[in-house]
C-alpha cells in the first residue's frame, strides 16, 4: 500500500495491487478502508470514544460506485456543485481505500457533505488525526491547489510522520509531494 499515492483531477487512480479492505467498525460493515488506515482510525476513535458521536459516511468506493455518485450528483445538484464536491470517476481518493468521510452523528447525514464542525468531538478528532496518520485533505484556502472545495469531513490516511509534517507546515498532499 502506497499511503502517499496522489489521486486528484490531474492524477487518475490506477489500481496496480490487491487492496486489503476491511470494515472500519463492526457497526458499519459496508464502510471499508485499507487495513492499516482502518486500524489507525479505530485507534483515534477508541481514544475519543468517537463512535458514539461520529459516523463514517463513506470509505472505499469502486469505480462503478463513484460513477453512480457522480452521475446522480450531476442530475440532482448540477455541474457546478458536482465539480466542487464530487471527484470524477477514476479520480477519487475513495477508490484508494485511504479516504474517509466522517459526520457528526445526527438523524440525517448528508452523504456528500456530512456535518463535521470545527468544535467539540469533531475538532478533537481533527487535532488527534495527524498523530495517527490522517490529514484533513481539502482545507479552506487551498482549493486552487487541490481542485476540490473545502471539505472539513474528508480525511485521508497518509501515515506518520507524513501526516504530522503536513499538518505542522500547513501543506496539502499536492504541496508535500512537490
Question: DSSP per residue over 61-73, as a string?
Answer: --HHHHHHHHHHH
**Of the listed 71, 151, 164, 174, which one is catalytic?**
151
Residue 151 among the catalytic residues: yes
Q: How far apart are CA 66 and CA 64, in angstroms?
A: 5
> 15 falls in which pLDDT band (50, 70, 90)?
confident
Q: What is the distance of C-alpha 139 from the center of its chain? A: 12
> What's the whole-number mean pLDDT along residues 61-86?
90
Q: Residue 16's pLDDT is what?
A: 67
Q: Which one, of 121, 151, 178, lies nearest residue 4 by Cα?
A: 178
**pLDDT digits 0-9 by tens, 77-93:** 999 988 888 888 899 99
Q: Which residue has the higher pLDDT, 80 or 17?
A: 80
Q: Lowest-pLDDT range, 13-22, 52-61, 94-103, 128-137? A: 13-22
Q: How far apart are CA 171 and CA 95, in angstroms?
A: 22
Please list, residue by residue across 144-177, b when 16 or more beta carbons sit within 10 angstroms of its beta carbon and e when fewer do. ebbbbeebbbbbbbbbeebbbebbeeebbbeebe
pLDDT(36) > 90: yes
Classify the C-alpha dihedral 87-64-159-156 as positive or negative: positive
Query: Mind listing the domains of the chain with CATH numbers?
Result: 21-61+97-177 (3.30.1380.10)
Averaged pLDDT score across all residues of the chain: 93
Across the strands, what pairs with 22? 33
Half-sphere exposure of 178 (CA within 13 A, CB side): 7
**pLDDT digits 0-9 by tens, 97-134:** 999 999 999 998 887 889 999 999 999 999 999 999 99
Q: Residue 138's pLDDT is what?
A: 96
pLDDT(17) > 90: no
Q: Where are the alpha helices (DSSP H) in 55-151?
A: 63-85, 120-128, 143-146
Q: Residue 86's pLDDT is what?
A: 86
Amino acid at each position: 500500500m502506497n499511503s502517499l499515492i496522489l489521486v486528484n483531477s490531474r492524477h487518475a487512480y490506477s489500481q496496480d495491487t490487491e487492496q486489503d479492505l476491511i470494515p472500519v467498525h463492526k457497526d458499519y460493515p459496508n464502510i471499508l478502508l485499507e487495513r492499516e488506515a482502518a486500524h489507525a482510525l479505530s485507534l483515534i476513535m477508541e481514544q475519543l470514544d468517537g463512535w458514539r458521536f461520529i459516523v463514517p459516511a463513506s470509505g472505499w468506493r469502486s469505480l462503478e460506485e463513484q460513477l453512480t455518485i457522480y452521475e446522480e450528483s450531476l442530475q440532482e445538484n448540477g455541474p457546478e456543485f458536482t465539480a466542487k464536491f464530487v471527484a470524477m470517476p477514476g479520480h477519487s481518493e475513495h477508490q484508494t481505500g485511504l479516504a474517509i468521510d466522517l459526520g457528526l452523528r445526527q438523524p440525517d447525514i448528508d452523504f456528500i457533505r456530512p456535518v463535521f464542525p470545527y468544535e467539540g468531538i469533531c475538532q478533537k478528532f481533527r487535532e488527534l488525526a495527524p498523530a495517527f496518520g490522517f490529514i484533513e485533505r481539502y482545507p479552506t484556502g487551498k482549493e486552487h491547489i487541490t481542485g476540490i472545495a473545502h471539505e472539513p469531513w474528508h480525511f485521508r490516511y497518509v501515515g506518520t510522520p507524513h501526516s504530522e509534517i503536513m499538518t505542522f507546515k500547513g501543506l496539502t498532499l499536492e504541496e508535500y509531494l512537490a
